[in-house]
Chain A
Amino acid sequence: MLQIRDDLADKYSSVYTPEVLTTLSFMAQYNAEQKRLINERTQRRLARIKSRTPITFLDPEVEIKDTGIKVQDARDGKFVGAVIPHDLQRQWLQGTGPAAKPNSPVKANLRNVAYALLSGADGWMFDGEDALGQVTTMSLDNQVSLKLAIARDPLFLDVAEQVAREMNNWARDFFGRAIVINWRAQLDFTTKIFRARGLHLDDRHIRLNGESLSASIVDMTLYVVNNHKTLLEAGSSIVLYLPKIQTAEEAGFWNRMMTALEGHLGLDEGTIKVYVLVEQLEQTFQLMEIRAALGLHFVGFNTGRWRLYQQRLRCQLLGPGFHQSQH
């Protein structure tokens, strides 16, 4: 039983649609497992820090937990992975930023999306996590913006036309020429990618039988359910950025959730594609296993946001043999 706090179900009915709520109820079956995995993560790390045990590779003979894939097979490429879809084959330039701003009206939020899609970047990662200030209902404002923009709602098109005009005015002064030649065509150029919140976070608006509900489940469900039809009709891929994954077991959990979601929506397995952020030391000991565990969903790793602070801390915990330059 899902409970949405205050009047948000009404206020955000455009993203809390009946289809979304039904799907969320279905996906809620994964909530207990998310809680278990996070508890295990915390305990594992604490135990490791306490005993100063270094991180090691997985035993090649064991199975990656709950995936049915043997570690050695994963390393040898004995699994079926994804084919890179056409709109992810060229991603030389990728931008990132959220689709909402704190306490801003819809139109102001849509300007973010318009700038992103008119920027000329090959892809844009619309952030539902770190770069999105998680104040009040920003996670929902973000979803509202994305849904309007992806559906090419007239409201969004008005904003995009205005933004294109402003960009050109500025560019004529700066470069001596306009930079957005055909704003409508330009809007289709950039591949849209969405970063869902990691397994460590819970959503602040919905509860499940009084308990907190995983933010990963909420973000993924809202984005995919609200946008899958429009994206697929436009010939675009449904792409997620998965942050904060630390083990192949966690990757396998994401994989099961995505397969279930696809099944529920009548989509083929592997319709959703994911990038996995590499941002954590333990993760670098299980990379091939993570790729295998995500099977048909996995398209690639992103290492652009190496988590320096965590690395630093970890280095210090590992004793005097490990140095970090101050330069």
Chain B
Amino acid sequence: MTYGYIRNYEDRVRRAVNTPDANGNYALWQGGMEPNIPVGSTAGVAASMKKAKAGAVRRDHHFILGATNTNIPNYKTAFLAIMRQFNSKGIIEINGHLMYRISDAAYAEADKWLDKTGLSTEIDTTIKTMLSRSTADINAALDHAATRLLELWQMEASLKTYGVAVADVMAFHIDEGTELPMTIEEWHAFVENSSFVEAREQARSMGFSIIWNCDIARTPEGYYQVRGGIPYAIAKSLAVAPFADIIWMETKTADLPDAKIFADAIHAVYPGKMLAYNLSPSFNWDSTGMSEDKMRHRPQRRRYARPGPLATQAAAYRFTFQDPTEDNQRQAKGMLGLKLYDDIQTEVGQIIVARVNAERVKGLVKTDSDDLKKLIAKG
């Protein structure tokens, strides 16, 4: 049994509002389905994800990072080799690498590189100093190793955008006294407004066939690595601005200067474009337990700024901030206080994992479920 892809529901809404009534009147449709949660058959979900990724690559190529030194195991294999090392060194809970088919030879090459960079030894030390075998500690250990890998790999691969990679070679030749048909500034401007193929042609015409490979930098999930940040957010937002009523910026931590750079950049191209900013879908600031006074003081303390205590979902012209993690932490602690959770842990600094007290929950819902049983019996 398969219900249709969410598009089917959209179509039903569309038909329901676009059918005229007896007097020829139509109805309104507000809002859209959540676009980032595809629902449907396996094939349907896979197809929509593929489309979304292709769109992202097209739009983002200025920001995609590639290796300029390719004499290195690819990032994905190195990452999986780390998981494999944890596993073979006794941390059998880590087994994600088993989902991938990587040859022994590729693993051997990756291990050699991990030995050479000292990461294998670091993993040994990390395992020895682990406080416990809890999920949290295991994840923290893996997270630490993954962070170190990213640092070492990016350094050795000399990871950069294509534009920067060519500019670096240009700078080298200019230092040597070579005359080039364009300046580095002109090159950067050219890259920003051209496709990857055009940029590569231009570089070749200047005699630069550089080594730049973005595929070996892809993550185990297949994502390209990008130079994230405000410029990236601005580029994507400018691309959609002509089609959008409002541009909405959302960040994990609030930073007014970032928001200002973003707003100024959008307004430079689209003056007066409506902007919104939020950090959390929570509506009610006070329900987070913060007093008016505390909220008023928080901005200075954290160099946040917010115009007032209202947290609303959409706020044209205005910028509001909230730290979602604190909110969730407080909720989790509340549940602990009510004994609904036995234990809570924060993993990777972001995910709250709670052990639910099943008996307590059962006890609490008992009255309701008894009533419900009676109700059903009556019917």
Contacts and interface: CB of A to CB of B under 8 A. Distances in A.
B317 interface: yes
- Size class of B's contact patch? 35 or more
A303 interface: yes
B307 A95 contact: no
Contacts of A82: 25, 27
B30 A94 contact: yes
Tell me whether chain B's interface is mostly helix, strand or loop, or mixed: loop
A101 B284 contact: yes
A181 B224 CA distance: 46
B313 A278 contact: no
Contacts of A319: 1
Given A300-B28, A303-B29, A327-B36, A81 B21 contact: yes
Contact of B315 (A103, A115, A163, A275): A115
Contacts of A311: 39
A119 interface: yes
Contacts of A179: 317
Given A77-B21, A79-B21, A131 B284 contact: yes
Contact of A301 (B30, B274, B379): B30
B13 A287 contact: yes
Given A43-B376, A304-B30, A111 B312 contact: no
A96 B314 contact: yes
A325 interface: yes
A28 to B, nearest CB: 23
B32 A133 contact: no
A120 B275 CA distance: 11
Contact of A299 (B10, B27, B31, B372): B27
Interface in B1-52: 1-3, 9-10, 12-13, 15-17, 19-23, 25-34, 36-42, 45, 49
A14 to B, nearest CB: 22
B316 A93 contact: yes
Contacts of A95: 312-316
B286 A166 contact: no
A243 to B, nearest CB: 13
B318 interface: yes
A304 to B, nearest CB: 3
B127 to A, nearest CB: 29
6 contacts: A84-B26, A97-B311, A119-B318, A121-B314, A300-B27, A303-B13
Sorted nearest first, the 7 A-B pairs with minimum C-beta distance are A304-B31, A300-B28, A287-B16, A81-B21, A131-B283, A97-B312, A120-B316
